Amino acid sequence: MQMEDRVISFIQPSRNNLKYLKWSYNSIRKNLGYRHEICWADDFSDDGTWEWMNEIIKKDPNVKIHRNEGPTRLGHTILYDTLVDMATSDIIMIYHADMYACPNMDKAVLDKLTKGSVVSATRIEPPLHPDGPEKVLKDFGIEPEEFDEQGLLSWINEDRPEKYTRGIFAPWAMYKEDFLAIGGHDPLYAPQSKEDSDIFNRFVLAGYKLRQTWQGFVYHMTCRGSRFADGAQRNPDGQVFMKNRETDEWLKQNERSTRNFIRKWGHMVLHDRYMMPIIPPKYNIGFVVDNCNNDMLRTLEPWCSDIYGDWVGHKGFGVNKYIEEEQPNTDFDLKKKIHSQHMNPQNDVVVHIDCSKLNQQNYQVLVKLSEILKDSGEIGEFVLDIFSVKVKNLNTYEKDLIVCKTN
């Protein structure tokens, strides 16, 4: 199939983002035409989003819509995949509701897209977040009402050499069959946060090639969902910043998803300067802990496959309370993960920890343990700071995580 014959299905969930979604839709149709399919999901909005979507489909037959009827949000982790299932094109593009499609963005992405690859367009963003080599920081407006479209288009039309880098960030496109082959996004992270880092790791482990084209651009307002619900503002000196702080909803969910990412992968989100994922090995690690209170249990539990402690008397009551409070935040079965110290650990790597000696500095050994074990390659018993480590073998399990089996 010729590039000009290939069609993209834009995947756009939205919750109470109507003015940005209108702005985004108009840019796609104005700059890319009507041949591409747009798939929208309204995530229980109350700002008129669903009513507007229904008006659009009366005049634009190449738009498909879906609504979460509530009573609570599902989040884009779930709705991305709902829309992918609805999409009729062979190619899908994960696309935020606060993105403006620049002319020829689609052509630049399709030019580099093959089966077994994922291609990102390059983001142009106002200076609301730190700069980085993976994006362009230029201020063409922080709200649709003050958007400098002509200034942006003039910049886009400037001559620039061809450039491609290895990395990934939205908007990204791939063949639908490749997306479905690894099971899509992991609902572990619903409603949001870290679902992108998780699937990016799985793309790499599945052998997909990640490319970013610097010939195709979007203008990205950034974080206009649950993270900064009040949008951005400009002070009298022209400096831009987000209104108010991050919402409690986003902060709580980000912590929840971060802990689940660590449980699944054994490390924090890691990537290079161009947003190419860095994936340390996943080991089967057991912690044997002494002097462990509930605060320590909360700190340590995500970092291991199993944790063994002297949970008797009031400590046992505390462990049960921790499980009761934490279990609603994860799909991992904590009752099968937290064991009595009297059990003989069967993990490949066993770490003995005296929690009374644990501090912020030596805690970093646990944070980086998978990288330390990889670099060492050592089998046997040794000491790392306050930790006694016994390595039976260094089998790795990260490739078991490629396919999301819950979808």
Q: How confident is the model at residue 393, as a pLDDT?
A: 97
Q: Which long-range contacts (CB under 8 A, 24 or more apart) does 249-257 make?
A: 250/192, 250/193, 250/226, 253/191, 253/192, 253/193, 253/226, 254/193, 254/194, 256/193, 256/329, 256/330, 257/189, 257/192, 257/193, 257/194, 257/195
Residue 159, sorted as left (phi over 0), alpha (psi -120 to 50) or beta, turns out to be beta
Q: 333: which 2 tokens?
A: 């079965």
pLDDT range class, residue 235, cuts 50, 70, 90 = confident
Q: How confident is the model at residue 317, as a pLDDT?
A: 73
Lowest average pLDDT, out of 43-52, 70-79, 243-252, goes to 243-252
For residue 1, is pLDDT > 60?
Answer: no
295-306 pLDDT per residue, tens: 999 999 999 999
For residue 3, is pLDDT > 60?
Answer: no
Q: How confident is the model at residue 14, as a pLDDT?
A: 96
Around Cβ 2, how many Cβ atoms within 10 Å?
6
For residue 117, is pLDDT > 60?
Answer: yes
pLDDT range class, residue 51, cuts 50, 70, 90 = very high
Give 3-265's CATH code, choosing from 1.10.730.10, 3.40.430.10, 3.40.50.1970, 3.90.550.10.
3.90.550.10
Residue 320, sorted as left (phi over 0), alpha (psi -120 to 50) or beta, turns out to be alpha
**Rounded CA gap, 21 and 224, in Å?**
10
Mean pLDDT of 336-358: 94
Q: How confident is the model at residue 113, as a pLDDT?
A: 98
DSSP 313: T
Q: How confident is the model at residue 238, as a pLDDT?
A: 80
The amino acid at 202: R
Q: 255: which 2 tokens?
A: 């912590």
Q: Which residue has the tokens 């330390």?
A: 372
Whether the CA torsion 338, 340, 343, 349 is positive or negative: it is positive
Q: What percent of the chain has pLDDT over 70?
A: 96
**Rounded CA gap, 80 and 171, in Å?**
13
Q: 72: which 2 tokens?
A: 């609570």
Q: How confident is the prediction for the chain on average, in pLDDT?
A: 94
Burial environment of residue 154 by CB neighbours within 10 A (0 to 12, 13 to 18, 19 or more): exposed
Q: How confident is the model at residue 226, as a pLDDT?
A: 65
pTM: 0.95
For residue 106, is pLDDT > 90?
Answer: yes
**Rounded CA gap, 155 and 160, in Å?**
10
Mean pLDDT of 380-393: 97
Greater confidence (115 vs 341) lies with 115
Q: How confident is the model at residue 339, as a pLDDT?
A: 94
**CA dist 287 to 239, 254, 339, 366, 386, Å?**
48, 25, 10, 10, 13
> What are the sequence ranges of the domains in the chain?
3-265, 285-401
Mean pLDDT of 256-276: 98
170-228 pLDDT per residue, tens: 999 999 999 999 999 999 999 999 999 999 999 999 999 999 999 999 999 987 766 76
Q: How confident is the model at residue 108, as a pLDDT?
A: 97
Mean pLDDT of 395-399: 98
